[in-house]
Chains A and B, each alone.
Chain A
Amino acid sequence: MKYTEEHEWLRVEDDLVVVGITAHASEQLGDIVFVEVPEADTTVSKDDEVVVIESVKAASDILAPLDGEIVEVNATLEDNPGQVNEDPTGNGWMFKLKVEDLSVLDELMDEAAYNKFIG
């Protein structure tokens, strides 16, 4: 699993990059009450705002971690946003990204580096 400074995790499954937010981020946000996922088959650039999350505290944007095409989204989050708190790296996944070259993930933090980052 790889991590961004925006507190997203990325995991490669079947040549696609699955993206969600980290347990640390979900704890900081508090209880999540609304998730708006993008349409599938959307081309995105790194740092585009692709997902909106509202917690009991505030709204936050989740940014595209890489250039690519969103090929699948976790639409169950719209009815059950609490999955992001309960299982952030499992059922709380947000979207799957098709990228040209998976080697771009090598530049991201690994778990040890992310744990150090959130210190």
Chain B
Amino acid sequence: MGELKRTVLFDLHVGLGGKMVPFAGYEMPVQYPMGVMKEHLHCRDAAGLFDVSHMGQVILRPKSGDLADAATALERLVPVSILALAEGRQRYAIFTNESGGILDDLMVANRGDHLFLVVNAACKDADIAHMRAHLSDDCEIEVITDRSLVALQGPGAEGALASLNPAAVDMRFMDSTAMDLLGVQCWVSRSGYTGEDGYEISVPDAQAVALCEALLAISGVEAIGLGARDSLRLEAGLCLYGNDIDTTTSPVEGAIEWAIQKVRRTGGARAGGFPGADRILEELENGASRRRVGILPDGRAPMRQGTVLFATAEGGAAIGTVTSGAFGPSIGGPMSMGYVAIEHAADGTQIYGEVRGKRMPATLAPMPFRPSTYKR
């Protein structure tokens, strides 16, 4: 493992009392003095500011000058309709591999003359190499290395950002636009990964600290670490790449087939044409043999990543495994997601997770565990 990288906001985190830990090759704040539980609840009640600068920001520019050519090219790597993505809009996408697994999940925005992508930190080098290998004939691939990325999330996010630019109010969920904040052009999307309304803001490195300080100076805005980010996204039913989806899980197994628009499915005008299409299209028609599900333990003990799942309290073979598990501060109890064999995957099914050698009862439940509050 090489030396850990730091984001531009490192000193700010340390100054705020952030506890820095290694994450995806970066030193990132796992929590601040408030602590994971209170940070989580604060984000749900007011507003939280997250440093997500470790994530990759990439611009794809069409060599032809026609954005449709870049969109068509990117559709070779994702089972998502990029051509139908309107200017100023963003959508969730996945890079698939030849065996129908998932290389990464990402956000793609149509920014008029280019596509703006945000990819996971741990995957960004591989994603960039993958795009260079497959898109270079049609696109200039510009890796953004001089901008930070922060997320402002929670019911207070709109008011906080609007105090810097009233145009923030006019955005709706998954809008993406350039916006002046403190005299600096930022790239703002109304999105995030907490289940809350909020924004992700790409800001030039030189102004990132000033922007964060200005946001943190607003009443109700607090810095939130990775610990709370994880419980927030899990309550929202959102996958963490590497835990809940990876190269061995297909989009149908991962229950993210909603990201695959009709036009890319069998019978659609641009059906297939992405890596692993044979398997993914077949699973879209006929289902997969296992599925990602929400799991609510009946007791208070969390069922963490790796917990083996069974259909019965005694005997029988394992039916699946937990891929993420934690305590949900807003739901006031433990929650997990994981994969189970399809015959056990219906909501309401009673299953058992083996915790410290004992099979503990749990019930499959729809996700999100807590309703999301996006401004659609």
* A interface residue numbers (CB < 8 A to B): 30-31, 33-34, 36, 52, 54, 56-59, 78, 81-82
Between-chain CB contacts (< 8 Å), 12 pairs: A30-B35, A30-B36, A34-B302, A52-B356, A54-B301, A56-B35, A56-B326, A56-B327, A57-B227, A58-B304, A59-B304, A81-B300
**Complex alpha-carbon distance, A31 and B304, angstroms:** 16
Please state if B35 and A36 are interface contacts (CB–CB under 8 Å): no
Q: Which residues of A contact B38 (CB under 8 A)?
A: 31
Least Cβ–Cβ distance between B103 and chain A, in angstroms: 29
B37, A31: Cβ atoms closer than 8 Å:
yes
Which residue of chain B has its CB nearest to the CB of A36?
A: B301
**Nearest-neighbor residue (CB-CB) of B19 within chain A:** A30
Knowing A52-B356, A56-B326, say if A30 contacts B31 (CB, 8 Å).
Answer: yes
Known: A31-B37, A33-B334. 8 other contacts (CB 8 A): A30-B35, A31-B36, A31-B38, A33-B37, A33-B300, A33-B302, A59-B304, A81-B300
Indicate which residue in B227, B231, B334 contacts A34 across the interface (CB closer than 8 Å): B334
Count A/B pairs, Cβ under 8 Å. Answer: 40
Asked whether, in the complex, the Cβ of B301 is within 8 Å of the Cβ of A34, the reply is yes
Q: Please provide the chain B residues from 308 to 336 with a CB less than 8 Å away from any CB of chain A in the complex.
A: 326-327, 334
Q: Which residues of A contact B231 (CB under 8 A)?
A: 56
Q: Which of A54, A56, A78, A82 contacts B227 (CB 8 A)?
A: A56
Expressed in whole angstroms, the Cα–Cα distance for A30 and B31 within the complex equals 10
Give A90 to B282 CA distance when docked, in angstroms.
Answer: 60
B213-229 Cβ-contact flags toward A at 8 Å (1 or 0): 00000000000000100
Contact with A along B19-48 (1 / 0, CB 8 A): 000000000000100011110000000000
**Do residues B302 and A54 form an inter-chain contact, with CB atoms below 8 A?**
yes
A54 near B31: Cβ-Cβ < 8 Å: no
Nearest 4 Cβ contacts at the A-B interface:
A33-B327, A31-B37, A56-B36, A34-B300
Q: Judging by beta carbons under 8 Å apart, are A56 and B300 in contact?
A: no
Which of chain A's residues has its CB closest to B38's CB?
Answer: A31
Closest Cβ of chain B to A47, distance in Å, is 17
A52 to B37, CA, bound (A): 19
Query: A78 and B35: CB pair below 8 A?
Result: no
Choose among A31, A33, A78 the residue with the greatest number of B CB atoms under 10 Å from its CB.
A33
The residue on A at minimum CB distance from B302 is: A54
Interface residues of B in 295-310 (CB under 8 A from A): 300-302, 304
Q: Mark B155-197, 1 if CB is under 8 A from A, else 0.
A: 0000000000000000000000000000000000000000000
The smallest beta-carbon distance between A35 and chain B, in angstroms, is: 9
Residues of A within 8 A of B301 (CB): 34, 36, 52, 54
| Chain B residue at minimum C-beta to C-beta distance from A58 | B304
Complex Cα distance A13/B177, Å?
66
Residues of B close to A54: CB separation below 8 A: 301-302, 327
Q: B228 — nearest CB in chain A belongs to which residue?
A: A56
Q: Which residues of B contact A33 (CB under 8 A)?
A: 37, 300, 302, 327, 334
Please give, as numbers and ranges, the residues of chain A lying within 8 Å of B326 by CB-CB distance.
56
Q: Which among A34, A36, A56, A59 has the highest number of chain B CB atoms within 10 Å?
A: A56
Task: Given A33-B302, A34-B300, A34-B327, verify A56-B37 contact (CB < 8 Å).
Answer: yes
Which residues of chain A have C-beta atoms less than 8 A from B35's C-beta?
A: 30-31, 56
Q: List residues of chain A with CB within 8 A of the CB of B36.
A: 30-31, 56-57
CB distance from B289 to the nearest CB of A (A): 31
With both beta carbons as reference points, the residue of chain B lying nearest to A79 in the complex is identified as B300
Least distance between B348 CB and chain A CB atoms (Å): 24
CA gap between A58 and B302 in the complex, in Å: 9
- Residues in A with CB closer than 8 Å to B300 are 33-34, 78, 81
Q: How far is the CB of B334 from chain A (nearest CB, A)?
A: 7
Residues in B with CB closer than 8 Å to A56 are 35-37, 227, 231, 326-327
Identity of the chain A residue whose Cβ is nearest the Cβ of B326 in the assembled complex: A56
A58→B38 CA distance, assembly (Å)? 17
Question: Can you name the residue of chain B whose Cβ is closest to the Cβ of A33?
Answer: B327
Bound CA span A82–B301, Å: 14
What's the least CB distance linking B369 to chain A, in Å? Answer: 15
CA distance A56 to B19 in the complex (A): 15
Which residues of chain B (223-280) have a CB below 8 Å from chain A?
A: 227, 231
For A31, the chain B residues whose CB sits under 8 A away are 35-38
CA distance A56 to B334 in the complex (A): 10
